[in-house]
Amino acid sequence: MNEIAVDLCVIGAGSAGLTATAIAVQRHVQDVIATIAPHDSVERFKSLGAQVIHAEGRFVEPRVVTAGDTRIRARRVIIATGSRPATPKIDGLDRVDSFTNETIFDNQTLPEHLLIIGGGPIGIEMAQAHRRLGSRVTVLESAKALPHDDAELAGRLLQVLAGEGVVIRQNAKVTAVRRGDAGIVLALDEGGQRSEVEGSHLLVAAGRRPRVAALDLERAGVQTSDDGIIVDEKLRTSARGVFAIGDVVAKAPRFTHVAGYHAGIAVQNALLFPYAKTDYSSLPWVTYTDPELAHIGASEEEARKQHGDDVRVVEFSMKDNDRAQTERTTLGAAKVVARRNGKVLGASILAAHAGELAHLWVAAIASGQKLKAVARMIAPYPTLGEANKSAASEFYKPKLFSALSRRIVRVFSQLP
């Protein structure tokens, strides 16, 4: 076996047929994937001077990893093995064919009736997409759909999907799966009421699980939990010189952009000055439906737990945005959670391009800005982004139109 010594070792990577519309959509998806792929390709990493080994890596002792015939002794190790689709413990699930978010895009047959286990972002996104392609769709969620988003805005989004014909059954626990005459049958328990639903295809969108089984982490002294690798705020594991990033980290948000954020922190701490720390106070995420649902920072519930009555929530309807009226995309609203002094704590947006509108609030929270800065900014007209300025302005309306403000205006208006 060859042995190499390196400064940094990274383990991981990152009907009868389709209708014409579905074929075009699938071709578009594959084209986009092919265009993006070179950004994370082996060729790109090699061009940057990295040595890439195509083999499964595992620890044999602290900071010593084997990959195929190569033994790697590293000063620092970053574990970035990511996650895999979670498989819920449901009787019979392993005996039927099903899709995950990793395989659904390779499907060559438009489902007549797609059953989806899981009402999180992936399940809801795929539900709307397949319904618009012509499939019947039923979503089964054992608890509450989109549980981590603003409840009111999430409810409005679910109403949109229901209006398009998507059946969403919340508090519906899938107890068993079996093959039926027309496809796949799910046995349900809805508060003690037993029933079944049958569909032609099944998508399991029940979250993701960290990939750690093959790493032999105990040989490196890396502590884990059921949710992944345990790290501190600097992304250091329990083993000296070993870091973990992305989906493999226990209790960390599992989003692609979080993995990229982690990478910057871990590389700095591993190779430069170990001062960088994780801070999720301005974390954004987006459910890519139509309209999109974006969330940034703290929810109202989280803010009230931390600050009690020192919290205000303001909202601006997209119906009052001129650009939204122009494009007939008026469904939705922008809600902002702030302290009574105006410091921004969080925001939720249901709107067309909500993910783009979220950027301003990420910057505002990360820099400790108050709503005054957003309310005073000059926003180009007409844009959807004006909704952010308008939402911030709502915070100051009670003071602006108070009895005291009117008296002050009257006094100043009488001055020569």
Average pLDDT, the chain: 93
Report d(CA 91, CA 107) in Å as an integer.
Answer: 25
Residue 14 pLDDT exceeds 60 = no
More confident call, 399 vs 89: 89
Write down the pLDDT at residue 15: 46
Q: Is the peptide bond before 382 cis (omega within 30 degrees of 0)?
A: yes
Domain coordinates in residue numbering, the chain: 2-83+209-271, 93-206, 284-400
Per DSSP, 63 falls in state T
Query: What share of the chain in percent tops pLDDT 90?
Result: 82
Alpha helices per DSSP H over 15-101? 20-36, 42-47
Collapsing DSSP to helix, strand or coil, 388 comes out as helix
Query: For residue range 322-346, what is the model confidence (pLDDT) as tens digits?
Result: 999 999 999 999 999 999 999 999 9
Report yes or no: 185 and 196 within 8 Å, Cβ to Cβ.
Answer: yes
* Domain topology for 284-400: Enolase-like; domain 1 (3.30.390)
Q: How many Å separate Cα 28 from the centre of its chain?
A: 22
Which pairs with CB-CB distance under 8 Å and at least 24 residues apart come from 49-55? Answer: 51/4, 51/6
Structure token digits, residue 265: 């922190």
Angle at 153 between CA 148 and CA 157, to 5 degrees: 100
For the domain 2-83+209-271, what is the CATH code? 3.50.50.60
Fold agreement between 2-83+209-271 and 93-206: yes
Compute the radius of gyration of the chain from its Cα atoms. 25
Write down the pLDDT at residue 289: 98
Task: Quickly state the pLDDT bin for 400 (edges 50, 70, 90).
Answer: low
* Domain topology for 93-206: FAD/NAD(P)-binding domain (3.50.50)
- Over residues 169-180, the mean pLDDT reads 97
